[in-house]
Amino acid sequence: MKLFFYIVYPIFFFAMGCGIYVAYTNADTLVDSNYYENSTHYFQTKESNIHQGSCTVTAGQRTVTLNIEPKPVKHMKELTFSVTVTSCDKLPETLLLDLSMPGMQMGKNQVTLVKKSGCLYEGKGIIVRCMSGRTLWQATVLSDTLNNPAFVFNVRE
Ligand SMILES: [Cu+2]
């Protein structure tokens, strides 16, 4: 009987050791290394009230502010999108603003924002009316330097 435990115990601990080893080596694929960064980004993309004023998100040391005129922001109307970045050093003369619907595949809709003065970028575009009746849209500044800041807002009738 004693001999039986002498054999079973090493096998048991070996199996446990293997389990811990596998858990450690797989840990990186299960949990994002920038988990905290991603979660803060999530809170940044909560809905903003674009109808009252501009919306600001922070991107590292910079802040990115989106404004859409005229207000309230409506579908099928020519809109002026302005993005102000502080500070805007090392940024190109144009930025792309991607208009999409969260969780929905819409046609590609991108507005080219041209640097007007200082750190202000401006461009014109149209937000189409969605067949589903949903009005939640997301405007994303496509810039790796800025960590692709996104603004989520509801478009009015
Ligand atoms: Cu849609």
| Residue 93 resides in a domain | yes
Residue 16 placed within a domain: no
Question: What separation in Å is there between the alpha carbon of 6 and the centre of ligand 1?
Answer: 66
Long-range contacts of 121-125 (CB under 8 A, 24+ apart): 121/82, 121/83, 121/84, 121/85, 121/94, 121/95, 122/80, 122/81, 122/82, 122/83, 123/80, 123/81, 123/97, 124/78, 124/79, 124/80, 124/81, 125/78, 125/79, 125/81, 125/97, 125/99
Total number of domains in the chain: 1
Is residue 140 situated within a structural domain?
yes
pLDDT in the model for residue 29 = 52
pLDDT for the residue 61: 87
Distance 107 CA to ligand 1 centre (A): 9
Ligand 1 mean position to 86 CA, how many Å? Answer: 32
**Looking at 7-118, which runs of residues are DSSP E strands?**
55-59, 62-69, 79-86, 94-101, 104-117
In a domain, 29, yes or no: no
β 136-142/94-101 pair status: antiparallel
Query: What's the CA-to-centroid distance between 58 and ligand 1, angstroms?
Result: 27
74 CA from centroid of ligand 1 (Å):
15
What token pair was written down for 85? 């970045």
Q: Are 83 and 68 in contact (CB under 8 A)?
A: no
Q: How far is the CA of 53 from the centre of ligand 1 (A)?
A: 24
pLDDT value of position 145: 92
pLDDT number for residue 120: 97
CA of 68 to the centre of ligand 1 (A): 20
Give domain status of residue 86, yes or no.
yes
The CATH number given to whatever domain includes residue 115 is 2.60.40.1930
Residue 41 maps to a domain: no
Please give the distance, rounded to the nearest whole angstrom, from the Cα atom of residue 45 to the centre of ligand 1.
18
pLDDT at 25: 64
Structure-block tokens of residue 154: 């509801």
Question: Which of 42, 46, 50, 45 has the alpha carbon at shortest distance from 127?
Answer: 50
The whole-chain average pLDDT of the chain stands at: 85
Q: What is the model's pLDDT at position 38?
A: 53
Collect the ranges in the chain with pLDDT lower than 50: 30, 40-41, 43-44
> Residue 135 belongs to what domain range?
47-154
Please report the pLDDT score of residue 146 as a whole number. 93
pLDDT score of 134:
94
pLDDT on residue 43: 47
